[in-house]
């Protein structure tokens, strides 16, 4: 026969007792977001609100990429960040202008070095898996977090209507089409009309629309997927050995393998990444000013291409690393 105390113990133990202080799964020392924001749009405001919500009482930092080229990144970092801080005053102090934060890994390493033991990364749902794989793969190698939580900011519909569908690609297309009215619909009302026109002009200048007619597959690939894939399949772009930048993470690497719609590249730090061709930009095209389709050996274009690349830091880094490896193997 059970004692009274045993009866009470079993009765209480059989009940589910709610934790009075459940731990928020998003609770972290730091919340970060990384993106091109070129140009910043009303759609990005949705992302920033999500970042702030996920951060809760913790700190959050938004890192715009440092990329700058006439195609998908017409605004230089300082100009872009200046406009972002004007457009989104509630988040201005959290929008970081750090020349050393060129990739998502730089942002994570910085947070870790400043003492963060756990981190949230907020991204669009279409990029969640990519960030989960990369961020966790290099934990305990490039940085050391007890927990990395990649949070979706929600679906993105580039072909839809309204604020959530207003992408930077659409605004670059509007600028290329010289369509200010469409462009203005994607800019927050916090930016006055005169400043919006200045931003519009800056994007057109950065895209060199008056001097150089970039094709739509170069400016906004999502609006000309056929053109992008045809150039890829014909070997005009993204070939093995080419240097490319992942638009989502900022990683720059040499292509070592190509697939039907994707490439695999490796950075100088031996970080391997896989990217869809719509999410990468060929770096040397912008550096040299010579498109990959115009680099036939023996032509003036090829000579100009090689001359401009010869003293570029990215090339020199690869050369120096190769020399060091050879010296070490010969020692």
**What CATH number does residue 201 fall under?**
3.40.50.620
Q: Residues, the chain, total?
A: 331
- Phi and psi at 221, nearest 5°, equal -55, -30
* Biggest CA-to-CA distance, the chain: 100
Q: Is residue 1 part of a domain?
A: no
pLDDT band for position 323 (cuts 50, 70, 90): low
Question: How do residues 181-217 score in pLDDT, each as one tens digit?
Answer: 999 999 999 999 999 999 999 999 999 865 445 688 8
The C-alpha atoms of residue 181 and residue 163 are separated, in whole angstroms, by 15
Q: Same domain, yes or no, for 57 and 88?
A: yes
Q: Is residue 10 part of a domain?
A: no
Q: Same domain, yes or no, for 256 and 182?
A: no
What average pLDDT does this structure show over 285-313? 52
pLDDT of residue 28: 78
Q: Which of 285, 291, 245 is nearest to 265 (CA)?
A: 245
Q: Same domain, yes or no, for 195 and 254?
A: no
Q: Same domain, yes or no, for 160 and 197?
A: yes
pLDDT of residue 154: 81
Q: Is residue 17 part of a domain?
A: no
Which of 76-80, 165-169, 290-294, 301-305 is the most confident on average? 76-80
What average pLDDT does this structure show over 248-268? 95
Q: Which of 124, 30, 43 is nearest to 88 (CA)?
A: 43
Q: Same domain, yes or no, for 196 and 279?
A: no
Q: Is residue 82 part of a domain?
A: yes
Beta bridge partners of 262: 276
Residue scoring higher pLDDT (158 or 216):
216
Q: Are 242 and 314 in contact (CB under 8 A)?
A: no
Q: Same domain, yes or no, for 205 and 263?
A: no
Strand order of the sheet with strand 118-123? Answer: 59-64, 30-35, 118-123, 147-152
Beta bridge partners of 143: 139
User: What DSSP line would sit under 81-101, residue for residue?
Assistant: HHHHHHH-GGGGGGB---TT-
Domain boundary among 163, 187, 210: 210
- Is residue 311 pLDDT above 70, yes or no? no
Q: Is residue 58 part of a domain?
A: yes
What average pLDDT does this structure show over 90-114? 96
Cα separation of the two ends of the chain: 83
pLDDT of residue 313: 55
Q: Same domain, yes or no, for 42 and 174?
A: yes
- Phi and psi at 41, nearest 5°, equal -135, 175
Q: Same domain, yes or no, for 190 and 58?
A: yes
DSSP type of residue 3 = -
The C-alpha atoms of residue 80 and residue 76 are separated, in whole angstroms, by 6
Q: Provide long-range contacts, Cβ within 8 A and 24+ apart, for 157-160.
A: 158/222
Lowest-confidence segment of 35-49, 151-165, 199-213 by average pLDDT: 151-165
The C-alpha atoms of residue 109 and residue 115 are separated, in whole angstroms, by 10
Domain that holds residue 197: 22-210
**What CATH number does residue 251 fall under?**
2.30.30.140
Q: How far is CA 238 from the centre of its chain?
A: 18
Structural domain count, the chain? 2
The C-alpha atoms of residue 44 and residue 160 are separated, in whole angstroms, by 15
Q: Same domain, yes or no, for 79 and 189?
A: yes
The C-alpha atoms of residue 308 and residue 137 are separated, in whole angstroms, by 36
Q: Same domain, yes or no, for 271 and 234?
A: yes
Q: Is residue 114 part of a domain?
A: yes
Domain boundary among 210, 239, 263: 210
Lowest-confidence segment of 11-15, 41-45, 89-93, 276-280 by average pLDDT: 11-15
Lowest-confidence segment of 4-18, 20-34, 131-145, 149-163 by average pLDDT: 4-18
What average pLDDT does this structure show over 274-293? 71
What average pLDDT does this structure show over 253-282? 94
Domain boundary among 164, 185, 210: 210
- Mean pLDDT, the chain, integer: 82
Q: Is residue 39 part of a domain?
A: yes
User: What DSSP line would sit under 232-269, residue for residue?
Assistant: HHTTSSS-TT-EEEETTT--EEEEEEE-SSEEEEE-TT
- Is residue 295 pLDDT above 60, yes or no? no
Q: Are 158 and 278 in contact (CB under 8 A)?
A: no
CA separation, residue 172 to residues 33, 145, 148, 276, 302 (Å): 22, 37, 33, 20, 29
Q: Same domain, yes or no, for 200 and 258?
A: no
pLDDT of residue 26: 54
The C-alpha atoms of residue 313 and residue 242 are separated, in whole angstroms, by 15
Q: Is residue 12 part of a domain?
A: no
CA separation, residue 177 to residues 94, 171, 200, 327 (Å): 33, 10, 11, 53
Q: Same domain, yes or no, for 99 and 53?
A: yes
């Amino acid at each position: 026969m059970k004692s009274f105390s045993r009866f009470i113990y079993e009765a209480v133990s059989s009940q589910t007792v709610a934790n009075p202080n459940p731990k928020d799964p998003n609770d972290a020392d730091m919340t970060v977001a990384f993106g091109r924001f070129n140009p910043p749009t009303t759609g990005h405001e949705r992302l920033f609100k999500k970042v702030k919500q996920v951060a809760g009482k913790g700190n959050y930092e938004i890192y715009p990429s440092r990329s700058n080229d006439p195609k998908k990144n017409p605004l230089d970092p300082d100009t872009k960040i200046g406009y972002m801080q004007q457009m989104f005053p509630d988040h201005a102090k959290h929008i970081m202008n750090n020349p050393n934060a060129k990739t998502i890994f730089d942002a994570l390493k910085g947070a870790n070095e400043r003492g963060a033991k756990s981190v949230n990364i907020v991204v669009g749902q279409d990029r969640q898996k990519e960030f989960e794989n990369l961020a966790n793969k290099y934990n305990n190698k490039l940085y050391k977090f007890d927990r990395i939580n990649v949070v979706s900011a929600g679906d993105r519909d580039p072909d839809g209507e309204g604020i959530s569908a207003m992408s930077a690609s659409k605004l670059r297309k509007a600028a290329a089409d010289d369509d200010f009215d469409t462009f203005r619909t994607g800019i927050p009302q916090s930016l006055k009309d005169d400043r919006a026109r200045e931003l519009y002009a800056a994007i057109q200048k950065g895209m060199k629309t008056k001097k150089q007619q970039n094709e739509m597959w170069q400016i906004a690939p999502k609006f000309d997927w056929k053109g992008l894939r045809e150039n890829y399949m014909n070997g005009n772009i993204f070939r093995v050995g080419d240097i490319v930048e992942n638009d989502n993470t900022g990683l720059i690497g040499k292509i070592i393998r190509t697939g039907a719609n994707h490439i695999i590249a490796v950075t100088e730090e031996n970080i391997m990444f896989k990217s869809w061709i719509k999410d990468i930009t060929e770096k040397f095209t912008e550096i040299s000013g010579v498109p990959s389709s115009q680099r036939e050996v023996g032509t003036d274009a090829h000579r100009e291409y090689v001359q401009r690349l010869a003293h570029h830091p990215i090339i020199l880094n690869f050369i120096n690393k190769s020399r060091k490896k050879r010296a070490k193997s010969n020692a």
